[in-house]
Amino acid sequence: MPSASPNPLLYLSRRQLLAGSASLLACSCTHAPRAPSETEIIARTAAQEWAARPDIVSYEIPGVSAPHYAEACTALAVARLARALNDPSLLDLVRQRWRQASTMPNTLNHVDANLIGIWAMATGEAENMALGISMADAQWESVGEDGLTTQARYWIDDVYMIGALQTEAYRLAGEVRFIDRAALMAERYLARLQQPSGLFHHGPDAPFFWGRGNGWVAAGLGEIIAALPTDHERHAAVLNGFRKMADALAETQRHDGLWGQLIDDPSAWSESSGSAMFAYALLRGANSGVLPEGYRTIADHAWEGLKAKLGPDGRLSDVCVGTGQSQDASYYLERPRVTGDLHGQAPLLWLCAEKLSAGA
């Protein structure tokens, strides 16, 4: 995979590299044997299932070629799981699969292609971490009149694709430019796209609250606000938008703990990937102290609903396939449902890692 910088190692000082490696590799402690929790069993099963897949899914659209962003999202989750469980063997899975992905072409000219940088950073290896940080800077090489990267499309999934990459780079390198970019993007997207209900239309010509599309927003905002310093000039705007969305999700959660393919449509089927994203975002908000403790209960209810969708192989069912925008509600309601798609596996593992990091 081509580097976005002639010498990506220049992006990190020796101290930053060692600190990042220590954080990712704090898995060497030994502990007395213990019985694994149900969450741990599910998480390990899902992680191993991902690692055993023979091929890396590719992402191909006109003018863009890269490993698939859902692979990178899953890799980030497994790396976080490794930290939560103090298990370096899980991090080895991330590294092994990265070695395969890193040989694939990456045009680095699109939010979905640049997001692969979170996978490079997740390996915890110095050269790859520097490469991932260079991908975050490459995402911002060209800036538009609105002050945002020209990769920003004002599509709702951008909130994660831009926000997660820049926030991970901030966590690793500690350079404020990364969190400044994430916060600016979040503030602009919230002001332009968030509806009075707190939710987000799939697009300007698609006035529907599609589950996974809103899931990307919730997860992206959850990543950003957990890292954004409280004295940052955009903290209040981002936090208010996140809380407004969280309130809307609390109001629309179903009796089964999940959310609909169209969130506000009672006739819509319960969709797993968006539900896992919402549960993760709400739990991360509660764990980071930006949402009240009551949201932990909402996330726990969602977890029970998700477990009902899990097979013994750790594969999540009732995941909506890739979905473009439409002006017809029936288009969303009739989308095929699949099992084991990484759009569902990634947030399932985010949620598991977040639960385990809090001792659940």
- Tell me the pLDDT tens digit for each residue of 236-271: 999 999 999 999 999 999 999 999 999 999 999 999
Residues 90-103 pLDDT 10s = 999 999 999 999 99
SS3 assignment, position 246: helix
pLDDT given for residue 360 in this prediction = 64
Examine the pLDDT at 324 and tell me if it is beyond 80: yes
Residue 6 pLDDT grade (very low, low, confident, very high; cuts 50, 70, 90) = very low
Please give the average per-residue pLDDT across 20-36, as a whole number. Answer: 57
Residue 32 pLDDT grade (very low, low, confident, very high; cuts 50, 70, 90) = low
Q: For the chain, what are the domain ranges?
A: 8-357
Q: Which long-range contacts (CB under 8 A, 24 or more apart) does 237-241 make?
A: 237/186, 237/187, 237/190, 237/191, 238/183, 238/186, 238/187, 238/190, 239/290, 241/186, 241/187, 241/190, 241/194
Please give the average per-residue pLDDT across 285-300, as a whole number. Answer: 97
CB 212 within 8 A of CB 263: no
Amino acid letter, 266: P
Nearest of 287, 285, 284 to residue 244 by alpha carbon = 285
Q: Which fold has domain 8-357?
A: Glycosyltransferase (1.50.10)
pLDDT given for residue 155 in this prediction = 96
Kindly tell me the burial class for residue 74, based on how many C-beta atoms sit within 10 Å of its own C-beta (0-12, 13-18, 19 or more).
buried
Other CB atoms within a 10 A radius of the CB of residue 183 amount to: 26
CB 92 within 8 A of CB 139: no
